Structure 1
């Protein structure tokens, strides 16, 4: 039970190695009152910390206790207040990071020998009490012994995969409908006592098997028995189990031996009768085990998709974005809680995976994975990122959608040899090259030259005439059809390629909703959506009964940016000319160079919308047309500006 030494993963609190420095723990200890320290001492007993961190009984908490595991020998560490060899230089935040998140003071991952997967449930109040006690432990000047782990288990970065698949930080929350005693017992058993660490079998990666929690496991040559509620109910009553936990024996049952004896004598014997009663209440009524580890249980993805996508994330993304999508300081932005990741459309994540992102400001460059991952692999990865770690995005990316966005890369970047000659047959698939039907592409070009710019209709016309409904084929066809139109203009080459790039992205965005897994929510007004380093415009699928201007409340775009757009526009009188819209867009970017381009466009749309909605004697269709024209001009202007760097991250 609590604190028993597990032959696979070791002991409670194992791995909290400290570093030299001023004893901040000792300095903070002076402010603790005696009651807080006493409570911390009680909680440390419940967590069974001392036996596991004591190799030499004359040096309590000084570490050095060996644990034989399938991966090699591990040694518990010094957690006394010694500033050089213990954790005397730690702060409360360091202590919390270790117990709640499994991250050491120096930022390295702790081995799950320290049961942070259970301790993560400890409440902040209890962590503070534990810290008040721990930092008063007498210092022991004993250095930690080096673990004797086999390669590759001695490389802590390998814990990325373990954490991503099996660990989610989560403070204990009471279960509704259960008594206070049951919930207190659940807290003691699951969090502080970490009973599952010894009484549950583990998989090949050393993680507790979710389906078999509490069903028993071998510990130091002894067998920790099945303590699931169904097994206990066959042989134990509340009274006999309570007596066993308090004393280590029960009449007509058994007497404690092996590692469990240490748990009873050093931990359970010191708990109050109320806490022992609570533990028994929970153990005799513990819920059935979960079928999946916590990270997967929280995911909407099917099991097979989740497994594939998690592996893909671990292999391709986790080395930089870390487990849990938390990022790595200022160099790598977080994916968890990132609004660009959880937007209604998955385009931004798709384009980032396919095209990578340039370095800029404090951010490092992100490579392209287009040549490494297939369309289905990218779709799975995008859905995983958008729905993991508390992200509330929708798993609506599909292989077809990825194929459409992959085709946008067929437009060469400006400055390349192909781009400098503006050789349309080499853009997408056009006459003389493999790709879309040449005759149909030529007819689409004539339609565009005649003024038809409705992408949906052009896409349907191509599919109907050619029989090719593949997403990448449609994007290539419409790109090739538009290219001669752009080439015939008198604009400079950089602007031609900017226009062609904008068109291609808009085609991919226009056909993506029909390719999505599930629906992509409609927008009330024209709206800019980020896509990798670029942006596209989404128009409402249908007109509302009233022009629904989003509020400038900081929820849609940063409040400061929205206010800056309002100040820039002043009191506009629609219609605003195209030149004026361009000026607004370029001015707001210059004033806010670090802002995302999509946010700049949307801030201007938010600022302009109320003026349009207030126009007297205009229909809803006329108002939407005015707002769409302004939005398209702003978005088009921002699309043609040099590629943003910091904002794209």
Structure 2
């Protein structure tokens, strides 16, 4: 059996300059814990740290070990406690981030040569012991030669793609049903010993090939042989002979160690306890079948080909700002991992953010629109990727047809822009070269709207019947084109005309996009406001439940403070409320809470009013829904038509302006 020097030499060499020392306060040295330090020394030998970080045997751990790789020459760094050329100024957190997450002290990415993809499994207790030992390695001043990697491999940001496709930070988890000895062996082989890094061939991006786990690979001119369970048994190895080989490098009747594997036995395996070597043997003779997918892909509900192309799209378009694993950039750019707007049941918020961008808000900068860069399929892939990656567990329910519907809303200019200084109906139509709406069908719809027809579902059905089931984007364009002349005849101010047209267009996109997926997009049983980028739309329930189901007052559906403010403002009214009263309630709560999203403002009032309606005596469920739907439609429409406000970072003003009047000839929306 041949192993590369230090088990990790092939990939650890690729990680040179990854453990560069970073500035910052030195961690205060605690009182020596001899047992902890001794355990850390044992773990460092099991992980084979010294050989990879030693170029000159007279200066152990001082780095400088060179290796010629397909990407250029690379040199291992100094990890002694020297404060100028080593890691003497590192903190424990920086050490952990480098070893288990592949991020060095200055925040740059480590190359996959450093086996952090295996070390990520190291337990917290073992990390503390390793740190107790490593920080006490005597300081040796030594600056290894600079790496000689060719472009683009010398650009560490390129590691984003590798990390997205092949790396997931995760601790080792024992396998149920296996013995303690087997699980100990799995931990030593897969995490600390990182055996697969030398005994598994790699793909073009330098990641180990899952389907070829332990099947052997060429390393530094030597062959690290196949050590999969079947090969060991086929080649006549027994547990006793393999244990003897791991201890001394020799097995009677089998082989004697030579090449780099000799140093592995001498510097690492030979120091292990008999129990740990027995555990390694137990695991190797009963190792599980190899995984056929990298960890990030295996954890994803997306198909393998979709995950691969979506990850590439994320790296090319999003990762420079949102970073790998959707981590964001602190107060400058929000995290996508665990972001409520990203994992909401309805995907429209993230779709509109990609298509339309986002204005600056609070400490966050503006996000550009990607509508001109990405087609409908690509937007859907990215949206589904961020909704299902890095622990996000939202449904991958975005379709290309759904994106087409929402893309059509971008044809309506935002009010407040230079284009809104004089109201003119916007140009409508699909992507360049695509057919636009059918003129005769649009004219028929416009006549229906002028006569008072306002049911968007009915108009969608009518257009599809007249045009032969057009695409989602074309349907939204058609309804927009039909409604625009109706709005234009209003005497309302231009900004309000644009607001009304955009409100109608977003509602049309909501209805059309829901038809692009099978089944309900979420389980909301009542009329509800949904965020769409910085705005909101109204979603009505697909059917009536047996009982009016109001959201629980637990702070989950609506922020708790906003829910309390909405309930207090609403009081105990007697339904039904007049439209003007509902508009005043919505405007007042919106102005009193300048940091709240419009959708949350609407839902705070809807949830409070729902409880009032549900308590009405002698009313049917249908009557209750009618009351609630009318209230929700008016509240949402009022907020849709309010002029945009600047981001407020100071305390909210006390003055509350009255609700703006509705446009004279503009319908009030669905009732």
The aligned counterpart of 2:137 is 137
> What is the CA distance between 1:474 and its match in structure 2?
1.0
The answer (yes or no) to whether the contact 1:12–1:47 under 8 Å persists in 2 is no
The aligned counterpart of 1:16 is 19
The aligned counterpart of 2:441 is 440
* Aligned equivalents of 2:118, 2:209: Cα separation in 1: 14
The aligned counterpart of 1:617 is 618
> What is the CA distance between 1:60 and its match in structure 2?
2.0
Q: How does 1:412-451 map onto structure 2 within 5 Å?
A: 412-415=413-416, 419-424=420-425, 426=427, 435-451=436-452
Q: How does 1:103-252 map onto structure 2 within 5 Å?
A: 103-234=103-234, 235-252=236-253
> What is the CA distance between 1:518 and its match in structure 2?
6.2
- Aligned partner of residue 10 in structure 1, secondary structure: helix
Pairing 1:477–2:470 present: no
* Aligned equivalents of 2:207, 2:179: Cα separation in 1: 30
The answer (yes or no) to whether the contact 1:324–1:336 under 8 Å persists in 2 is yes
Pairing 1:271–2:276 present: no
The answer (yes or no) to whether the contact 1:83–1:89 under 8 Å persists in 2 is yes
Gaps of 5+ in 1: none
- Aligned partner of residue 370 in structure 1, secondary structure: coil
The aligned counterpart of 2:80 is 80
> What is the CA distance between 1:208 and its match in structure 2?
0.8
The aligned counterpart of 1:633 is 634
The aligned counterpart of 1:100 is 100
The answer (yes or no) to whether the contact 1:376–1:399 under 8 Å persists in 2 is yes
Gaps of 5+ in 2: 649-671
Judged with a 3 Å threshold, the aligned counterparts in structure 2 of structure 1 residues 643 and 228 are, in CA distance, closer, same or farther, namely farther
> Larger deviation: 94-103 or 600-609?
600-609
> What is the CA distance between 1:544 and its match in structure 2?
0.8
The answer (yes or no) to whether the contact 1:300–1:387 under 8 Å persists in 2 is yes
> What is the CA distance between 1:11 and its match in structure 2?
7.2
* Aligned equivalents of 1:162, 1:13: Cα separation in 2: 17
- Aligned partner of residue 73 in structure 2, secondary structure: strand
* Aligned equivalents of 2:399, 2:142: Cα separation in 1: 57
The answer (yes or no) to whether the contact 1:12–1:52 under 8 Å persists in 2 is no
TM-score norm. by structure 2 comes to 0.91
Judged with a 3 Å threshold, the aligned counterparts in structure 2 of structure 1 residues 434 and 118 are, in CA distance, closer, same or farther, namely closer
The answer (yes or no) to whether the contact 1:19–1:84 under 8 Å persists in 2 is no
> Larger deviation: 38-47 or 2-11?
2-11
> Larger deviation: 560-569 or 381-390?
560-569
* Aligned equivalents of 2:22, 2:565: Cα separation in 1: 48
> Larger deviation: 99-108 or 584-593?
584-593
Q: How does 1:406-555 map onto structure 2 within 5 Å?
A: 406-415=407-416, 419-424=420-425, 426=427, 435-516=436-517, 519-555=520-556
TM-score norm. by structure 1 comes to 0.94
Q: How does 1:252-263 map onto structure 2 within 5 Å?
A: 252-263=253-264
* Aligned equivalents of 1:46, 1:152: Cα separation in 2: 34
Residues 80-102 of structure 1: per-residue CA shift (max 9 Å, x gap): 22222222222221111112211
> Larger deviation: 581-590 or 179-188?
581-590
The aligned counterpart of 1:38 is 38
The answer (yes or no) to whether the contact 1:400–1:470 under 8 Å persists in 2 is yes
Pairing 1:593–2:594 present: yes
* Aligned equivalents of 2:426, 2:367: Cα separation in 1: 31
Judged with a 3 Å threshold, the aligned counterparts in structure 2 of structure 1 residues 20 and 351 are, in CA distance, closer, same or farther, namely closer
Judged with a 3 Å threshold, the aligned counterparts in structure 2 of structure 1 residues 42 and 417 are, in CA distance, closer, same or farther, namely closer
* Aligned equivalents of 1:32, 1:621: Cα separation in 2: 73
Judged with a 3 Å threshold, the aligned counterparts in structure 2 of structure 1 residues 183 and 378 are, in CA distance, closer, same or farther, namely same
Judged with a 3 Å threshold, the aligned counterparts in structure 2 of structure 1 residues 643 and 157 are, in CA distance, closer, same or farther, namely farther
Pairing 1:404–2:405 present: yes
Q: How does 1:548-567 map onto structure 2 within 5 Å?
A: 548-567=549-568
- The alignment covers a number of residue pairs equal to 641
The aligned counterpart of 2:388 is 387
CA RMSD of aligned residues (A): 2.2
> What is the CA distance between 1:181 and its match in structure 2?
1.3
* Aligned equivalents of 2:482, 2:287: Cα separation in 1: 65
> Larger deviation: 98-107 or 55-64?
55-64
> Larger deviation: 576-585 or 334-343?
576-585
> Larger deviation: 476-485 or 190-199?
476-485
> What is the CA distance between 1:170 and its match in structure 2?
1.0
Judged with a 3 Å threshold, the aligned counterparts in structure 2 of structure 1 residues 13 and 238 are, in CA distance, closer, same or farther, namely farther
> What is the CA distance between 1:448 and its match in structure 2?
2.4
The answer (yes or no) to whether the contact 1:67–1:74 under 8 Å persists in 2 is yes
* Aligned equivalents of 2:129, 2:584: Cα separation in 1: 59
The answer (yes or no) to whether the contact 1:21–1:84 under 8 Å persists in 2 is no
> What is the CA distance between 1:13 and its match in structure 2?
8.9
> What is the CA distance between 1:117 and its match in structure 2?
0.5
> Larger deviation: 4-13 or 557-566?
4-13
> Larger deviation: 499-508 or 602-611?
602-611
* Aligned equivalents of 1:11, 1:49: Cα separation in 2: 15
Residues 130-178 of structure 1: per-residue CA shift (max 9 Å, x gap): 1122112222222343212111111111111111111111111111221
* Aligned equivalents of 1:567, 1:416: Cα separation in 2: 36
> Larger deviation: 474-483 or 188-197?
474-483
Q: How does 1:271-290 map onto structure 2 within 5 Å?
A: 271-290=272-291
The answer (yes or no) to whether the contact 1:14–1:76 under 8 Å persists in 2 is yes
* Aligned equivalents of 2:243, 2:14: Cα separation in 1: 24
The aligned counterpart of 1:328 is 329
Residues 186-227 of structure 1: per-residue CA shift (max 9 Å, x gap): 111111111111111111111111111211111221111111
The aligned counterpart of 2:654 is none
Judged with a 3 Å threshold, the aligned counterparts in structure 2 of structure 1 residues 584 and 144 are, in CA distance, closer, same or farther, namely farther
> What is the CA distance between 1:525 and its match in structure 2?
1.2
The aligned counterpart of 2:651 is none
